[in-house]
Chain A
Amino acid sequence: MKTVAADPKGVDSGPHFMDGDHALAEGALAAGCRFFAGYPITPSTEAAERFAERAPEVGALFIQMEDELASIAALIGAAWAGQKCMTVTCGPGFSLMTENLGLACMTETPMVIANVQRGGPSTGLPTLTAQQDMMQARYGPHGDNMIIALCPDSPQECFDLTIEAFNLSEFYRVPVIILTDETVGHMHEKVVIPPADQIKVVPRNNYSGPKEDCRPYKFDSQGGHPMVRAGDGYNFHITGLTHNEKGYPVMTAGQNKIVVTHLMEKINGNADQIIRLDEDQIDGADVVVVSYGITSRIAVKAIQDARKEGIKVGSLRLITIWPFCEKRIREISAKVKAIVVPEINYGQMVLEVERNAGGRCKVISVNHCGGAVHDPQVILDAIRKAML
């Protein structure tokens, strides 16, 4: 991925005391995002408010759309008109966005969507935390498609991962979802924004070759292909229908196979380049705790307590949720007695862990429905149980 230094106009360098939602907006501005369309929804609204407040001085545009359907639709338009763009929401809004998330996947439109998760289903727990939308992020839109999802565990990571999300989104031309949660979103911590020249961003790559060779797509299961920008004279066409590389509809089973394979494999086939994990003492461990987001910070306490008891515990924190770290789970499952998976839902990512562990070790789900983070004692108990 070719990167350049960030445009200093969007970078508010220095130490800050801010919440995760604000850090999302700052990360977007630092990454070069100049278009934000959103709709208010707790607990994500602060990110939209921050962007709206900062937009005039940065030269960006904020619009509050009439709903989430329109918010993400506006991002698709803005992206093809040449802007890096973002929206934030949470479960109920994300449900509405899944419609055009599918169109964004199909038209390979770069954009970043932050889902500051709250308890569900339906209106659920508007002001309380959850990690219940992990599978929705992956399987929300109908049809086969693949996205990238990242999971920050702190306001600092909300900032850092938003920049990474934009970079991945630009390179792979895919919507990237930041799956944070109410706790991280509303938690105030120190966030250090580096100087602009230390922030590496992937700039928008617009096609500039001859008109006759212009293709909005290239179905080769790879990233790095340029966008075509509206107004540049290429008369491009894009559609949500199954299409050829020219963007024209070709509605056949054969073409569908070509398109879907490309959409899936440009992410899955490059999973090794995309996936980021945070590992601690996995070599020689008997038990590994696989966690993500705010739950990984609760798990730290349980892991420390278990180590004090002499249990060899490793930690695997998923920074990249999708594509899932299948290979690493397969490796770990061959070496440990058990994998413990705490998460604030009825058991979602544990299914992926079980699938990839393939019976080689015990997989213990420490699930916990929405509304609060875990009591570390519950995770510690699970680690002890894993050793029996």
Chain B
Amino acid sequence: MSTDIEKFKAGSPMADTLRMDRMPHIWCPGCGIGSEVNSFAEAVKRSGIDPKKLVVVSGIGCTGRVAGYVNFDSMHTTHGRAIPVATGIKLANPELTVVVFSGEGDLAGIGGNHLIHAARRNMDLVVICNNNFTYGMTGGQVTPTTPGSAIASTTPYGNYEYPFSLPFLMDAAGATYIARWTSMHSRNVTQSIEEALLRKGFSFIEVISPCPTLYLRRNRLGDGVDQLQNYQDNSILKHGADTRETNIDFQGKIVVGKFVEKNKPTYLEAVDKCCVKLVGDDYQLYGKTIPEREAEEKAEKEKIAARRAAMQAEAEAQAEADAEPPKAGTKAAAKKAAVPKAAKKASAKKAAAPAKKASAKPVKKVAAKAPAKKAAPKAAVKAKAVAKAAPKKTRK
């Protein structure tokens, strides 16, 4: 057993973004949190932001343990208080990118007040909310989002409360970026987190996710995979959807997509505007004038752009390399043929993902080349399939 763990630790593509010295994690098989963390780690890599300047804050609960597994500055705080702690971090050092990763009970239940006020202030935070309709850590109690009639340990005869629709709540509170996906939409989750990391203002990303141990078992909904099937069957992709129409009924339709993306001054920008009017151009926050801070921000943005360009170039080169046929009889070809299927798939995925985001061209290129070459096409076709699969699934 322990050797398996060691192998996993050594071979994980996320080894630099996760705290491998804390593995294995506590999440159950079939739980959605793991795939969300994977999406998050991937989004951080793809965003090009400096991981040293990233802080992850969690509250309490199963999702609250995320902070303990990500290899960034991380804080595991009290129940519901991740957002105000994150607010303190962001305001005390505006250079930092601050992510709150917690569950719906933590964020919308005990921490509901902080959630709406951070959204109201347009506090520059990324909030990732794992919504599994249950308090998992304490044994499966009803939460503010549990759909009507669902069984929970504290609603043993069925839930009779009206649940929150979190996108609607966030929209009303003033959030400037709101997206919802399910844990099946891992590529879209990655995409949304990446967008949120690179923008200013309050971003809220809800991820509907299965809790096989408590919610699914109590409601006789099968295991994690069965629930992913439900997500696939019942998700309705609707970018820009009216958030008033995003309620989720028990095993009902789930409207997913990016609902809101708009710009308005963040809390700190509003502070700056007010103070510069008062004090004049000499105004400093923590010893730095506004032009000084803007110059630093610009320099950081350029670094991010350079990192992203380098990653894209690398991905394109990789895609090219993957498309090349191995020369028969050489050692390299034998080696390539021996690469396990999973690894091939992973590399194809890696190549396809950034390429698809930048433009459709590189993918097409690969696809066009594919039929002519015999050895590589499998990977290339797979790359194309992966790139297309995600949006297709949501277009039910």
Contact = CB atoms under 8 A, between A and B. Distances in A.
A63 B275 CA distance: 13
B279 interface: yes
B283 A56 contact: yes
A132 B220 CA distance: 54
Interface string A57-93: 1011101011101110111111111110100000000
A74 B74 CA distance: 15
B349 to A, nearest CB: 26
B309 interface: no
Interface string A200-238: 000000000000000000000000000000111111111
Contacts of B286: 34, 59-61, 83
A70 B84 contact: yes
Given A70-B117, A231-B52, A237-B67, A78 B78 contact: no
Given A61-B271, A73-B85, A248-B22, A85 B77 contact: no
B114 A70 contact: yes
Given A81-B93, A249-B68, A57 B84 contact: no
Nearest to A35: B92
Nearest to B80: A69
Contacts of A73: 77-78, 81, 84-85, 87-88, 114
Contacts of A60: 285-286
A136 interface: no
A57 B90 CA distance: 21
Interface in B271-324: 271, 274-275, 278-279, 283-287
Interface in B71-100: 71-78, 80-81, 83-93, 95-96
B114 A81 contact: no
B174 to A, nearest CB: 14
A230 B87 contact: no
A99 interface: yes
Contacts, number: 152
B113 A237 contact: no
A239 B68 contact: yes
Nearest to B120: A66
A239 B57 CA distance: 10
A157 to B, nearest CB: 28
A100 B78 contact: yes
Binding site secondary structure of chain A: mixed
Contacts of B388: none
A56 B331 CA distance: 68
Interface residues of B, number: 46
A241 interface: yes
B373 interface: no
Given A70-B87, A239-B68, A100 B92 contact: no
A6 interface: no
Given A57-B279, A61-B271, A67-B113, A248 B86 contact: no
Interface string B46-78: 000000110101000000000110011111111
B356 interface: no
A240 B58 CA distance: 11
Given A66-B114, A67-B113, A76-B88, A82 B76 contact: no
A100 B73 contact: no
A77 B75 contact: yes
B19 interface: yes
A248 B96 contact: no
A234 B88 contact: no
A229 to B, nearest CB: 8
Contact of B73 (A70, A236, A248): A236
Contacts of A260: none
A65 to B, nearest CB: 6
A329 interface: no
B77 A69 contact: no
Contacts of A112: none
B95 A231 contact: yes
Contacts of B81: 69-70, 73, 99-100, 103
A70 B116 CA distance: 12
A104 to B, nearest CB: 10
Contacts of A248: 21-22, 68
Contact of B55 (A59, A102, A231): A231
Interface in A29-65: 34-35, 37, 56-57, 59-61, 63, 65
B68 A237 contact: yes
A61 B77 CA distance: 23
Contacts of B85: 73-74, 76-77
A236 B55 CA distance: 9
B113 A81 contact: no
Contacts of A232: 52
Nearest to A37: B88
A248 B283 CA distance: 40
B75 A80 contact: yes
Nearest to A34: B286
Contacts of A100: 77-78, 81
A103 B78 contact: yes
A35 B114 CA distance: 19
Contact of B91 (A74, A103, A240, A241): A74
B91 A63 contact: yes
A76 B76 CA distance: 11
B84 A231 contact: no
A35 B72 contact: no
15 contacts: A61-B92, A65-B117, A74-B85, A74-B87, A76-B77, A78-B92, A80-B89, A81-B96, A99-B78, A100-B78, A100-B81, A102-B78, A231-B52, A248-B68, A249-B76
- List the 4 closest A-B pairs by CB distance, nearest first: A77-B88, A74-B88, A73-B84, A78-B92
Given A80-B75, A81-B90, 12 more contacts: A34-B286, A35-B92, A61-B92, A70-B83, A70-B113, A77-B84, A81-B93, A83-B93, A103-B77, A231-B96, A235-B71, A237-B76
